[in-house]
Amino acid sequence: MATVLDQQFIADDTNWNELHYSSSQQMIGVQVMPTVSASRNQIKLRLRKSAGLTGNIWVELWSSSSNLPNAQQSSDSGSVAIATGVAEAWGDITFTIATPIAEVAAVPFFIIMDGDYAESSSANIDWSADWTSPGYANVGYVYFNGSTWTGVAGTTEAQGFKEYYDDTTIVVSTAKGMPLLIY
């Protein structure tokens, strides 16, 4: 089985949104429009941390309703320890979905980031974003204040991400009478 990149948006690291910056940013995310019907098994986000920050972060995949997150689709990804798994410089952080989620092509879903560290205006996880006419076709940024989700159009602002699926295609070749399996 192979892990294959489906959708991505590359932000330029000059802007960002902060998880747990205030009570209005308890969870943050981006809407994704998959092109392939398949199970999503891995998400990469472009992140950096404030000096000395500890705790854990993870991603959740949520269904979409009226272009806002509606319900979490399954369990969280594995947690990433901030102290050892996220640097103070920008980097792509991989989140593995333990039980991959089957998503349908052209049906939007949300990648949501959450964490267990305390709210702070000075010690956060920064998620790379583009605020200068990114041209992203979907909802580029959502944030949760504890009771309500708010969305920002991708033409105005978009979070950087890479979204991967499981390719379970098996190709069988019988060249020279020998079976060859390619996953």
CATH number assigned to the domain comprising residue 67 = 2.60.120
- Range(s) of the domain holding residue 178: 2-182
Tally of domains in the chain: 1
* pLDDT tens for the chain, residues 1 to 183: 578 999 999 888 888 999 988 788 899 999 999 999 999 999 999 999 999 999 999 999 999 999 999 999 988 999 999 999 999 999 999 999 988 889 999 999 999 999 999 888 889 999 999 988 787 888 889 999 989 999 988 888 889 999 999 887 655 555 555 554 555
**pLDDT value at position 174?**
57
Within 66-170, strands assigned E span 68-72, 80-81, 91-103, 109-115, 125-130, 139-144, 149-153, 158-159, 161-167
Q: Is 35 helix (H, G, I), strand (E, B) or coil?
A: coil
**pLDDT value at position 119?**
85
